[in-house]
Amino acid sequence: MALDSEGLIKLFSYYRDAETRGCGLLMRMMQRVDDPEAQVLFSRHVDDETRHAWLWTKRIKDEGGLPVPVPDGYQRRLGQALGIPRSIIDLFALTVVVEQRAEARYKEHLASPLCDDKTRAVLNAVTKDETWHISWMEEWMLKMAREKGEEQKVKDTLARYREAEQEVWEEIKEDEREWLGFSFSDTQAAQSAV
Ligand SMILES: [Fe+2]
Ligand SMILES: [Fe+2]
């Protein structure tokens, strides 16, 4: 079975939306961090995320469509679950958790029997950047935490964010099953049965 263009365009629009939201958050964070080394890392990271957004846009156009509006369910529910980030370190923790979800989701989609060749090429291109995004942000966050003597507190925040994000993701999977008939996060057998 293959997904129809309409389903694919909706899914790619979600991915594109996540990339552009990530970009927006990174640019706001970049304005709050003075360190020159961090500025370099943020610049390269933003460059990656804008390119990722373009790759999804191009994939949508290749499918003969245009990006469609997507509900902000993930961000809204995450915001409700985590509360307002109180510091720049909280924003780093939020970004790490969201990036880890993006990486995991892209890998699940890559492993799916329903993944087509054009999508696989985009997924491979975007996934290879996610590993260093997560590692530089996590390292920088812990460096800032150590300087403030708050390493344990920040590790606890990260663990709390991860747990809350997992709960939100379960709800997103349910939404995805409603409009696709399955979730790319389901087992391969469940996807093949659709
Ligand atoms: Fe990305
Ligand atoms: Fe990323």
Mind listing the pLDDT tens digit for each residue in 167-188? 999 998 888 888 778 888 887 7
The Å distance, Cα 91 to ligand 1 centre, comes to 17
Residues 19-31 have a mean pLDDT of: 95
> Domain segments of the chain: what residues?
5-192
Quote the ligand 1 centre to 83 CA distance (angstroms): 24
CA of 192 to the centre of ligand 2 (A): 29
Q: Which fold has domain 5-192?
A: Ferritin (1.20.1260)
pLDDT band at 194 (very low <50, low <70, confident <90, very high): low
Amino acid code (one letter) for 30:
M
Q: Which residues of 158-187 are buried (b: 16+ CB within 10 A; e: fewer)?
A: beebeebbeebbeebbeebeeebebbbbbe
**Residue bearing the bigger pLDDT, 1 or 84:** 84
Distance, CA 130 to ligand 1 centroid (Å)? 6
Quote the ligand 2 centre to 69 CA distance (angstroms): 21
Kindly report the number of other CB atoms within 10 A of residue 55's CB atom: 19
What ligand is nearest to the CA atom of residue 106? 1
pLDDT grade for 193, boundaries at 50, 70 and 90: low
